[in-house]
Amino acid sequence: MSPRSCFRGRSRQRGAIGLVAAMTLGLALLFALLVVDSGRLYLEQRKLQRVVDTAALEAVTRGGHCQAANTALTYATQSAARNGFSVNTEQTLAIECGTLATGSDNLRRFSVDPSKSDAIRVVAHNSVPRSIASGVAALFSKGPLPLRTGLTATAVAASPSPLAMLTIRTILGEIDSTKSELLDALIGGMLGGNLKLTAVGWDGLVKTEIKLLSYLDQLAVDLLLNAGDYETLLSTAVSPTQLINAAIKVLSKGGATAQVAVQALQSISNISSAAQTLKLGEVLNVQTGASTAGLDSNVQVFQLVQAVAQLANSKSAAAVSTEVSIPLIGKVGVKLKVIEPPQLSTIGNPALAKAGLATGKDQIFVRTAQVRALVSIELPILKTISQLVSALPDLLTPVSGVVNNLLHLNLVGVVNSLLCLVIAPCDNTVLSIASRLDISLEAGSAESYLADYNCASEAAKSVTVQATTSIANLGIGKIDPVQAFSSSAAIAVEPVRLIDIGIRTCAGILGCGPVTLGKGGGLGLKAQTTIGQRTQSLVYPLPPNIGLPAQYQAMSSINILTSLGDTLSGLQVTSYVPPSGNITGTALAQVAGLLNQISGILVNAVRGFIGPLLDPLVNTLLKALGVSLGNAEIGANLSCHSGGGAQLAI
Same domain, 101 and 171: no
- Bridge partners, 536 (sequence order): 467
Task: Report pLDDT digits (tens) over 461-512.
Answer: 999 999 887 667 788 888 888 888 876 677 788 888 888 888 888 776 667 7
Residue 161 and residue 66: Cα distance in Å, rounded? 19
CB 519 within 8 A of CB 428: no
Residue 80 and residue 457: Cα distance in Å, rounded? 24
Element (H, E) at 253: none
Same domain, 168 and 150: no
Same domain, 21 and 125: yes
Same domain, 257 and 117: no
Burial readout 413-427 (b: 16 or more C-beta within 10 A, e: otherwise): bebeeeebeeeeebb
Q: pLDDT value at position 585?
A: 62
Tell me the residue range of the domain where 418 lies. Answer: 164-648
Handedness of CA 574, 579, 580, 582 (dihedral sign): negative
CB 243 within 8 A of CB 311: no
User: Other C-beta atoms within 10 Å of 231: how many?
Assistant: 14
Same domain, 132 and 172: no
Same domain, 342 and 478: yes
Residue 554 and residue 299: Cα distance in Å, rounded? 18
CB 442 within 8 A of CB 626: no
Same domain, 118 and 151: yes
Check whether 567 has a pLDDT greater than 60: no
Q: Which of 158, 190, 206 is a domain's end point?
A: 158
Same domain, 269 and 393: yes
Same domain, 529 and 450: yes
Same domain, 272 and 324: yes
CB 629 within 8 A of CB 474: no
Highest mean pLDDT among 145-154, 377-386, 540-549: 540-549
Q: pLDDT value at position 541?
A: 94
Task: Report pLDDT digits (tens) over 217-267.
Answer: 999 999 998 877 888 888 899 999 999 999 999 999 877 778 899 999 999
Residue 63 and residue 80: Cα distance in Å, rounded? 17
Q: SS3 for 414?
A: coil
Same domain, 150 and 204: no
Residue 488 and residue 562: Cα distance in Å, rounded? 30
CB 108 within 8 A of CB 650: yes
CB 159 within 8 A of CB 65: no
CA max distance for the chain: 182
Q: Which of 125, 158, 191 is a domain's end point?
A: 158
Q: pLDDT value at position 135?
A: 67
Check whether 615 has a pLDDT greater than 90: no
What is the amino acid identity at position 463? V
Handedness of CA 447, 451, 454, 459 (dihedral sign): negative
Residue 430 and residue 416: Cα distance in Å, rounded? 13
Q: Which of 98, 130, 158 is a domain's end point?
A: 158
Q: How confident is the model at residue 349 (pLDDT cuts 50, 70, 90)?
A: confident
| Helices and strands counted in the chain (H then E) | 18, 30
Structural domains counted in the chain = 2
- Bridge partners, 428 (sequence order): 412, 504
Same domain, 115 and 26: yes
Q: pLDDT value at position 125?
A: 95
